[in-house]
A and B are shown apart, each in its own frame.
Chain A
Amino acid sequence: MRHPVLGFVVMIAAASLLILPLSAHHEITAKFDPAKTTRLQGVVTYVDWANPHVHIFMNVGTGNNVANWAVELESVIDLQKAKYTRETVKPGDALNVEGILARDGSRQVWGNTVTLAGKRIFNVPEETVNRTPGGPAPKSADGKPRLGPAPGTTGYWARPSMTILAENGTNIRANKNGLLANIADAGKVAPFQQWAKDLFELRQRNRLADDPQYQYCLPPGGPRQFQEAYGVQLVEDKDHQRVFVFVGGVNHNWRLIYLDGRQQVGQLRGDSDNPLYYGRAVGKWEGDTLVVDTKGFNEKFWFSNGGLPHTDKLHLIERFTRTDANTLKYEVTIDDPGAYTRTWSSGWNLQWVAGEELPAFYCQDNRP
């Protein structure tokens, strides 16, 4: 998916081959202004090699006019995949940086192009997503499709085919973080009540800057966990009749889905009636589909990319079907009489990332 402002930036940056980040795990235009391009030369003073975003600090200028700048880059996980390490630059190295400036006027720049000794570094290529179906879904001993890796293999689910929670039948363009390509689409995304539409629009106009997941590393409850950068892993603990959902990004959290026939009341010794980030989830198999019913959410998080509002009345029915070895079909029905005028549905496919362990990304890492 192309970044909505990409065309504009390429236009104004004419000669330089400027590619905006496509894999930043949160909306970088919330902090940086794509219209304010800059070029900096500096000498590295400190490398903060940490998630969510790596920062290179460098001194720019000479004599009494030296200022320390922060150059913000992609996550450790993305940079590492592209074979860069915390040794790639060291204090004392001279860098050329082309990027976009922070909106608040602080000495921060998002590094679109970083060059060390004439060589471009920290270049994260866009992931190619191949949605070719695989063979038949592997089965568990009980004959059900396996939602996780078969014994002796590794892999996880990522690369959602839709990156915003939009009602089935709509055709809404949004970037990886759920930022609408066209704000006029806001009212078409879902059957919002007026206050919910207004809040959704406000969050969009603020470029998702208020996202609690970004601000405070709070968990992605609801459908959002299936649209995250760095994917999810479903681990079936058949012995205990439960399924773990492991989230690769955000704070590498876990969610539990119980298949043991329990009611959606508090677990033993814990959460008898307090509302939760992940809610209380109970599931059962219907043929080859795992159907999960979840309620008991709190209102302290965004339950979707793009910031669709919800209330503590939120009740979800999620359906997981591994249609082939490479594809997980995710369907969700949203029933929230606090925020929407009727029940509505959405869904997308996730792709199996074979042969790789789920990334372990901690939002908390790059904080004091």
Chain B
Amino acid sequence: MRHRALGGACILALVLASLGFGQAAAQGPGGQSRGAQDVGQGLPAAPAAGAQAARGAVAAGPAKPTPRKADGKPMLGTAPGEPALWLPSGGGGERFVNADTADASADKLRISEVPMQPWARAILDYRLENQLEPHTRCKPSGGPRQFLTPYGVEIVEMPDLKQILIMDLGGPHTYRAIFMDGRPHPADLQPSYYGHSTGRWDGDTLVIDTVGFNEKFWIDRQGTPHTEKLHMTERLTRTDYNTIKYVVTIDDPGAYTKPWTSGFNFRWTANSELFEYVCQDNNYAPDLMVGAQEFVDRTSKIVP
């Protein structure tokens, strides 16, 4: 009951944020979850030169070719001395699945083209109406959602460790590790936000296989559903200097009638680097976030 009331307060905060109601509100986690209108607004103050370069990163003319590492594979991280982040090419408004009103796109399904089970479609409709995403309560965001904040990510390749790290900026200051050492997924996996990821190179494409997701986050901003049965295959191809093509296959017999594939591009954003963003820092719904210690009352659970 009280959660519902707080939910109202949170939605109010989100609305204020999306109206640009004060810079502080726009920087809150609500601010980065409300679609295209907040893109850019949520970015912290920046040295002017860096910000200009970052926002002007999509240069005219053909992009430089894909940079490569000593082993010949495309470089997904940054070269030393060349700090950069990967942002969704459409900024914070980028989508994993298009609205039905969008133009058809070869690399992106529209909602009605996703083979949803009826319950999944019903919960998506509910979420589209009630955009109270777990991300706004500072939950880590797994799946494509990790790449869909207006703050971006850095991909850190650690060949020594045989791991690739994906450092989140928007969110609760967390990261995801992808094991590149050929290990299998553990048998006794506990469901988690990022799941368990193993990666391998298929030609010029990094293929990441992930299982072991929990159901406490949305895989995109709109609320495309998933269950613990989700088996996700991500394909990352740096097609030129400025672009990673990101293609994801969602195989989740708990929510869909068959596997489906969609995706979007990441845009190279030069002259930017990791900074400290902590979702909880400026959260306007701390009671929602921590439940005000009312761990007992689960009768009014927020629909995830």
Chain A interface residues (CB < 8 Å from chain B): 31, 46, 48, 55, 57, 68, 70, 72, 76, 80, 85-86, 106-108, 148-149, 151-152, 215-219, 235, 237, 239-241, 244, 246, 251-254, 256, 266-272, 274, 276-278, 300, 360, 362, 364-368
Interchain CB contact under 8 A, B302 and A368: yes
Set B44, B160, B173, B298: member contacting A271, Cβ < 8 A: B44
Which chain A residues lie closer than 8 Å to B161 at the CB level?
A: 148-149, 151, 235
- With A253-B173, A274-B44 as contacts: A362 and B193 at CB distance below 8 Å: yes
Task: Indicate which residue in A70, A254, A270, A364 contacts B289 across the interface (CB closer than 8 Å).
Answer: A364
Q: Judging by beta carbons under 8 Å apart, are B295 and A72 in contact?
A: yes
A268 and B289: CB pair below 8 A? no
Report the minimum CB–CB distance from B1 to chain A (whole Å): 13
Inter-chain contact B46/A254, CB cutoff 8 Å: no
Interface pairs A-B: 4 shortest CB-CB = A270-B275, A269-B50, A269-B46, A269-B272
**Cβ contact within 8 Å between B276 and A270:** yes
Contact status A268-B276, CB under 8 Å: no
- CB within 8 Å for A216 and B173 given contacts A106-B296, A368-B137: no
Q: Smallest CB–CB gap between A234 and chain B, Å? A: 12
In the complex, besides A46-B298, A217-B280, A276-B276, 16 extra interface pairs with C-beta distance below 8 angstroms are A31-B293, A85-B190, A106-B296, A149-B161, A217-B138, A253-B173, A267-B274, A268-B46, A269-B271, A271-B275, A271-B276, A272-B46, A362-B174, A364-B137, A367-B291, A368-B302
Flag B283-299 by CB within 8 Å of A: 1 or 0 each. 10010111101011010
B180, chain A: closest CB distance, angstroms: 12
Interface size on B, residues (CB 8 A): 56
CB pair B296 A240 closer than 8 Å = no
Is there an interface contact between B78 and A240, defined as CB atoms closer than 8 Å?
Answer: yes
Known: A151-B160, A270-B275, A278-B276. Contact between A216 and B190, CB under 8 A? no
Q: A244, A270, A272: which has the most chain B beta carbons within 10 Å?
A: A270
A366's partner among B162, B271, B295 (CB-CB below 8 A) is: B295
Mask, B251-278, CB within 8 Å of A = 1, is 0000000000000000000011111111
27 contacts between A and B (CB under 8 A): A68-B296, A80-B188, A85-B188, A106-B296, A107-B296, A108-B295, A151-B161, A151-B162, A217-B138, A218-B278, A218-B281, A219-B278, A251-B280, A254-B174, A266-B47, A267-B275, A268-B271, A269-B51, A270-B273, A271-B44, A271-B276, A272-B47, A277-B281, A362-B174, A362-B193, A364-B138, A368-B3
Task: Specify which of A106, A107, A149, A252 is in contact with B174 (CB 8 Å cutoff).
Answer: A252
| Contact residues in B for A107 (Cβ distance below 8 Å) | 296
Chain A residues near B50: list those with CB within 8 A: 268-269
Instruction: Tell me which residues across on chain B come within 8 A of A253, comparing CB atoms.
Output: 172-174
* Cα distance, A262 to B109, chains bound together (Å): 45
CB distance from A59 to the nearest CB of B (A): 13
Per-residue interface assignment for chain B, residues 46 to 83, with 1 indicating a CB less than 8 Å from any chain A CB and 0 otherwise: 11001100100000000000000000000000101001
8 Å CB contacts to A: which residues of B139-167?
Answer: 139-140, 156, 158, 160-162, 165, 167
Judged by a CB distance under 8 angstroms, whether B241 is at the interface is no
Interfacial residues of chain B within 22-60, with CB under 8 A of chain A in the complex? 43-47, 50-51, 54
Q: Is the CB of B280 within 8 A of A216?
A: yes
- The residue in B46, B83, B281, B295 that gathers the most chain A C-beta atoms within 10 A of its C-beta is B295
Evaluate contact between B47 and A268: CB separation under 8 angstroms.
yes
Interface centre among A215, A271, A272, A360 (most CB of B within 10 A): A360
| B172 CB contact (under 8 Å) in A31, A57, A149, A251 | A251
A108 to B298, CA, bound (A): 13
- In angstroms, Cα B275 to Cα A272, docked, is 10
**Residues of the A chain whose Cβ atoms lie less than 8 Å from the Cβ of B167:** 254
Q: Is the CB of B281 within 8 A of A300?
A: yes
